[in-house]
Structure 1
């Protein structure tokens, strides 16, 4: 099974002070896609520079030619389907059809209360995502939408001329629960996982592999329930959240071992973070570039 290698570039550097260079480098190194987080800020970066995802990706689209671009992930925490659809259609146009939307329910971090609302429970987040994704799907595939929902409505919302990619840009749906899996099966061209969060602190790499194996089995079941084959769907692993996160980028050999185990499970795309010094994503820049240029060749050996 073929495996693609992508990267996640967090929007922490000013565009003229190294920000642009990271996206250009990602294309030069041959990554399949360069993603960024769609947050207002994130965890340990709360009191540090953090720029908006949509403007950053728009600038990246203008600075690159072939590199695919995307979010990992956008959520309803501070987005509305109507305004988001217009921005996504525009990004797809500016990039020449190189954009993928990663989308998930979001969490209870800083984004959850930034607009003044009380944080939603996991069930409330799932309820909102279940309405958000189908409406966004319609907004990106139909020229005019009027719909009244419990959480999100659209009144004569128009998105002309539509996406460059037809019938719309691809969705990569993040979700490990039953409802998230169903959304991925119904609307996703890809599915996203970070592994099992319960194993983050004390789990083992072997336990993590088995957990992801179980997730993939549940995705297969969700697809089968609606009469869809899961094989054509991309299965994306965003790294940095599994028990071996601190060792997988130590060397090309370490990465190849990690990637090989997950390829055997059925993962089709692995996303590694561009290094950020003095953070949980600190890594050797030279090893990162070696992995980008040599990792898949060694894996396919």
Structure 2
């Protein structure tokens, strides 16, 4: 399968002060998908402007024609499957069937306590994530759903007419642990990873490649258990969190080398962050655009 190149556009700018232009430019540059983070705030951007993912993607859908759109990633931290399903069906309709839902268990950052709850333990996050994904799958594929679970409930929740994409819009499941990988194998059309977080500070690119190879091997085991061919599952690498950090965006050659090594591992999609000056995602915009337009031709 040919490698696809996508981008993440963080929602930190007002729509008419640069944000709209970025989404339109992403389509012009030929990116496969443009994603955004689904957070209430995020790390170093916490004390500055930050806009909601679903309204941003709705506006982006109206401003573009071909570009796929999605979240990287939505989590149970402040979402409920019933209301989220209604918003996703509406977004899929507005976009003409161009939406991918990136979904993960969530972490312990700002989102985890914004609604006033205590942070969940890793076990509770995993438990909630499993119930969240399974219920969301039903809500997006059935006209009416009633369900009573440990964490979530739905009472005759109506979701007519359903998604434009059938049987539902695709899930890209972010996971590295065994339970999450089983969810990816069962419900995912794609699997997402950022690498091994333990290697971010002091690891080497070689160690990162080895760790990613191990993750893909475990994904293959989960798929085999689920009776599924792992080759049928897209494998997405969200860059910027491996020991390489943003060095692959330093030049076209650097990116081609990075992308080639990860394509050999089996990745089918690489996602790079839209440059943001004076941030962890700072990069030369001219180099970024050259990568978008020229890199894939060198990897065929």
* TM category, shorter: over 0.9
Query: So what's the TM-score if we normalise by structure 1?
Result: 0.99
Deviation at 1:123, TM superposition (A): 1.0
Show structure 2 runs of 5+ residues with no match.
none
> SS of 2:299's equivalent?
helix
Matched, 1:191 2:172: no
> SS of 2:130's equivalent?
helix
Could you tell me which residue of structure 1 aligns to residue 168 of structure 2? Answer: 168
Moved over 6 A (4+): none
> SS of 1:18's equivalent?
helix
Could you tell me which residue of structure 2 aligns to residue 215 of structure 1? Answer: 215
Q: Deviations over 1:123-165 (max 9, x none)?
A: 1110100100000000000000000000000000000000000
Query: So what's the TM-score if we normalise by structure 2?
Result: 0.99
CA distance in 1: counterparts of 2:111 and 2:59, whole angstroms: 23
CA distance in 2: counterparts of 1:227 and 1:35, whole angstroms: 30
Q: Deviations over 1:159-184 (max 9, x none)?
A: 00000000000000001000000000
Could you tell me which residue of structure 1 aligns to residue 54 of structure 2? Answer: 54
Could you tell me which residue of structure 1 aligns to residue 265 of structure 2? Answer: 265
Matched, 1:292 2:292: yes
CA distance in 2: counterparts of 1:208 and 1:258, whole angstroms: 12
Deviation at 1:84, TM superposition (A): 0.1
Could you tell me which residue of structure 1 aligns to residue 140 of structure 2? Answer: 140
Could you tell me which residue of structure 2 aligns to residue 35 of structure 1? Answer: 35
> SS of 1:167's equivalent?
coil
Show structure 1 runs of 5+ residues with no match.
none
Could you tell me which residue of structure 2 aligns to residue 7 of structure 1? Answer: 7
> SS of 1:6's equivalent?
strand
Could you tell me which residue of structure 1 aligns to residue 108 of structure 2? Answer: 108
Could you tell me which residue of structure 2 aligns to residue 224 of structure 1? Answer: 224
> SS of 2:58's equivalent?
helix
CA distance in 1: counterparts of 2:245 and 2:296, whole angstroms: 18
CA distance in 2: counterparts of 1:176 and 1:167, whole angstroms: 26
CA distance in 1: counterparts of 2:201 and 2:2, whole angstroms: 30
Deviation at 1:196, TM superposition (A): 0.3
Deviation at 1:299, TM superposition (A): 2.1
Q: Deviations over 1:246-296 (max 9, x none)?
A: 311000000000000000000000000000001000000000000000011
CA distance in 1: counterparts of 2:299 and 2:265, whole angstroms: 15
Q: Deviations over 1:227-251 (max 9, x none)?
A: 1111011000000000011311000
Deviation at 1:203, TM superposition (A): 0.3
Could you tell me which residue of structure 1 aligns to residue 279 of structure 2? Answer: 279
CA distance in 1: counterparts of 2:200 and 2:61, whole angstroms: 34
CA distance in 2: counterparts of 1:248 and 1:227, whole angstroms: 36
Deviation at 1:74, TM superposition (A): 0.1
The CA RMSD over aligned residues, in Å, is 0.5
CA distance in 2: counterparts of 1:23 and 1:283, whole angstroms: 17
CA distance in 1: counterparts of 2:227 and 2:195, whole angstroms: 26
CA distance in 2: counterparts of 1:112 and 1:106, whole angstroms: 8
Could you tell me which residue of structure 1 aligns to residue 126 of structure 2? Answer: 126
- Report the count of equivalent residues: 300
CA distance in 1: counterparts of 2:138 and 2:247, whole angstroms: 42
CA distance in 1: counterparts of 2:246 and 2:80, whole angstroms: 36
Matched, 1:236 2:239: no
